[in-house]
Structure 1
């Protein structure tokens, strides 16, 4: 606002015409205006670097580096009501011991804005009595979404903040990343751009959703997980009383796989979760048809990975994630691809609560 440009020169000319400025003062003021105008843009570009700031914060916001006593914050994104059952069941298995202060979820409904250029964020606040808000207009999908999350929050004691982000597809990743930065979440969970048909095969929902996921992976200030929805838990709500899940962490090695293992360790705190860590071998993974959920790193390390990197259809899922969604891999288990930033390796594994069953299989 201090660099007026042409307006400043007009004001100086008026001052000279009215005799307020002499020739020498006028020349000095014009030169100062030109210099200030020319150096403003390069200075702002050099000082204000939001992308680099986000990458710097990314190194500190992962599940691995979260203190065990601190609150876990997740940003779960979805595009339609099709994603709601799996998202709710994933929240249930991610809540750990079930303490309300242990998990806070920001559920963001992503809607495309076709006419207006500015993004609109609307936070739907829960009623003071804690009960779900039942809207009389049953045809309104957004209201039904809020009702589903409010009901889950009331029953499971998980803190959920539903949010609707309306923006063009070209800038949708900015809303996601900025919300993750403001809320200081440890992980963003995005839906895959394909959904499962009735015959069990994956079908592309919208091709441009794939590019939104890629941009989020590039600019996210925290870890990112892409959820391939194959009906985790079905349409019914997974509760602590009836859940009996087997979660397999496909482990090659590397930072992403360690982040996936940390997420699995957190899930193992939930009653009824059986966690398996499997050092990857293709034939053994094909035999794991009883598994409900796979957690894989996006960029694993090891000699076996080189063969999997060829002909990767969806690089945002990583080589192992591409194998799990391929038609040759017959399984109904959902898949979450984990992406973490490069950081020093931490040897060993997370400690699990006493009494929890954790199977580690090396093949």
Structure 2
């Protein structure tokens, strides 16, 4: 706050700024060196960046007088604080854009209880320690109450920026426990900041008016951002991103608002976070801000900020044994309070002990707001002793440096806690309330509508959570020649990676934005640029990192106007085949057909008519996965679903015999529907029995049985229903040598679709509906090296 007032009131402007620029450069270089060393040990980037600050700070190179005189001139403190202020604005706004509000809303009770447990015990420990340390830390007798509250906040606090970055570095951000940790840290941080701002508000009665003006101004800015984003999304439709001047205007409004809040003696961290959280997530405005800010914040702003935390560590204070004991006691209080509080609430919430220990160390990570509680803002409320600030900064650094490696060690030890477990739908037949994570892959605008329609059906009822991603797969062009001059290069050789995709990117973005407006389903778009031989590896890696349950792939053929199927790129087929072999989750291949009318399945989100969908069941794990897929779309308002089970003809005679022997039973109709479940595989029967009781008996799904003797009769039965449905869902295979399908393999053209799927997708087979071929995750170890 003081830096905002004094930033324009310094005489020696050049030297502090030059020193800060050199310091920032040194932090980036040294942190990169440490990151290379520590990455081999499994340690995250923030730890390397804090260590870089330690090496450069008073405990390291700044012990040299000339280095100290250059890096720490008398007037440099305000500039460093101002630089930290701008850093806070950017990364808190970015975190607001990225925050998973839907997850917090669904798990609000668990998140709040966990945050309360982790912070309340820390607050108690901070309260007790404040009385013992008062004579060491408090300069005057005034401000005792504020000093006690600041110590409580200091021990209780959890740093969301550090937690977020650590989660991204160690790749547990998308796991359930990782999202719980990030959400709990966010609740703790916002609560601590609210209490701190309330402390400032209570110091003077005049600040009540300022608080009211700040609140009104913040609401006006949030409303202005919403209307500005809507206007900018419509303004230039043929661009994939906003132009730099438009981004500059948005960030200027954000920075100006934050500075006004700081000038009113309040902290602007919460305001920046709320601005990002309330900013409209759909459209190219939010997409541009994420694109511009993510790289700069993660690769420059946060490393510098973490380095600055370590830079403030002054090891010279360890020359006194009492100082060492104070720091040691505070570090133990921070760690023990988090472990005790988190484990207590985890026991109440029935969370396993190993997960509780992991959550405790994650929530013990500290950072920027701790420096706020003990920095110049706190000096307005009470007076620290000269050594108090330095000892508390050392506590922040040591606590974070201990907790970060512990989190990495626990991740290695308890690997199963973070493993990708939600790999199939059939294991969650009775849990439709679980979040479904989907990765849809497209090569161009042609396949977007079909993929989006499948995602819309998987949404099911409005209460079913879904996290969809769309990967734009782009072929990496040939490498640029190095033995020619720049002007001799061809256009595709000069293209930067950002330019890959061309106008396809604009059309894909436009289709996704329209889909979001129509369905309120936010699609997260990612771009993968690789050689065609390596695209499958990128898809499998993305699916594993994002922990998706389903991978959606487009078929390598598309339907022409005359109804024939035409091959697009043969390499697409090869990529699909490799993904089927190595996928870490269930895979669905969508074959888009039915161009004769405009009411096909790919137009699901654009028409009001009901779409008739059929799920074909012959038996086996893939068909069971197709049935489980059907449970997700059964409650969709535009879907009329029918499950068609194919059975051998002899099972019909057996069923009639059983019905005759049960004529006295009042439930004869239900028995007739279920009697055939006793035929065939026991696993299939049990699975269908559960499905019948949950969906068919309630009238949500239709159930039909067709009796055939061989593949020829199966083909005839499929021809009879070819014009009745706009989408056919069928398993790829895994049925063994079924007499119902074995004779159909003679004309198999595309083995990646399976016997039935290949028949339905054939140009010679007159089916007006699209086909979705499902392969259940094989539960084999993924091997990304192809022979």
Alignment pair present for 1:293 and 2:727: yes
C-alpha displacement of 1:237: 4.6
The equivalent of 1:228 in structure 2 is 591
Query: Is this contact kept in 2: 1:88–1:237, CA < 8 A?
Result: no
Match of 1:18 in 2: none
1:63 corresponds to 2:63: no
Name the CA distance, whole Å, in 1 between partners of 2:477 and 2:455.
31
1:82-93 alignment, distance < 5 Å:
82-93=446-457
C-alpha displacement of 1:267: 1.0
CA contact (8 A) 2:443 2:473 kept: yes
- 5+ residue gaps in structure 2? 1-35, 38-414, 481-495, 647-713, 780-787
Equivalent position SS for 1:82: helix
Partner residue of 1:103 out of 441, 466, 471: 466
Counterpart in the other structure of 1:262: 628
Q: Which residue of 1 aligns with 2:765?
A: 329
- The partner residue of 2:642 within 276, 284, 287 is 276
SS of aligned partner of 1:317: helix
**Cα distance between partner residues in 1 of 2:615 and 2:437:** 21
Q: Is the 8 A contact 2:549 2:585 kept in 1?
A: yes
When residues 174 and 116 of structure 1 are mapped into structure 2, their CA distance, relative to the original with a 3 A threshold, is farther
For 1:1-363, list aligned pairs within 5 A. Answer: 60-66=422-428, 67-99=431-463, 102-116=465-479, 140-231=503-594, 233-234=599-600, 237-239=603-605, 242-280=608-646, 281-288=714-721, 289-301=723-735, 302-342=738-778
Matches of 2:583 and 2:512, distance apart in 1 = 25
Deviation (angstroms), 1:89: 2.0
**Cα distance between partner residues in 1 of 2:552 and 2:641:** 20
Structure 1 position 80, deviation (Å):
1.1
TM-score between both structures, scaled by the size of structure 1 = 0.69
TM-score for both structures, normalised by structure 2: 0.33
Change (3 A) 1:235 1:292: closer
Q: 1:235 to 1:318 in 2, by over 3 A?
A: closer
Q: Is the 8 A contact 2:420 2:544 kept in 1?
A: no
Once residues 497 and 514 of structure 2 are traced to their aligned partners in structure 1, the CA distance between those partners, rounded to angstroms, is 22
Distance 1:103 1:121, change over 3 A: farther
Tell whether the 8 Å contact from 2:601 to 2:770 is kept in structure 1 after alignment.
no
CA distance in 2, matches of 1:74, 1:299: 22
* Distance in structure 2 (CA, Å) of the matches to 1:175 and 1:279: 37
- C-alpha deviation, 1:194, in angstroms: 0.4
Cα distance in 2, alignment partners of residues 217 and 316 from structure 1: 8
Name the CA distance, whole Å, in 1 between partners of 2:762 and 2:603.
28
Match of 2:667 in 1: none
Task: Give the Cα separation in 2 of the matches to 1:217 and 1:182.
Answer: 17
- Runs of 4+ displaced beyond 6 Å: none
Larger helix proportion of the pair: 2
User: Match of 1:309, SS?
Assistant: helix
Which residue of structure 2 lines up, in the alignment, with residue 347 of structure 1?
none
Higher percent of residues as strand:
1
CA spacing shift, 1:277–1:158, aligned 2, 3 Å? same
Distance in 2, matches of 1:325 and 1:194, equals 9
Shift of 1:259: 0.2
Larger radius of gyration: 2
CA distance in 2 between partners of 1:290 and 1:153 (Å): 29
Structure having greater relative contact order (Cα 8 Å, sep ≥ 6) = 1
Give the whole-Å Cα distance in 2 for the aligned partners of 1:257 and 1:236: 23
Q: Is the 8 A contact 1:299 1:319 kept in 2?
A: yes
Q: Structure 1: which 5+ residue stretches go unaligned? A: 3-52, 123-138, 344-363
Q: Matches of 1:87 and 1:230 in 2, distance apart?
A: 13
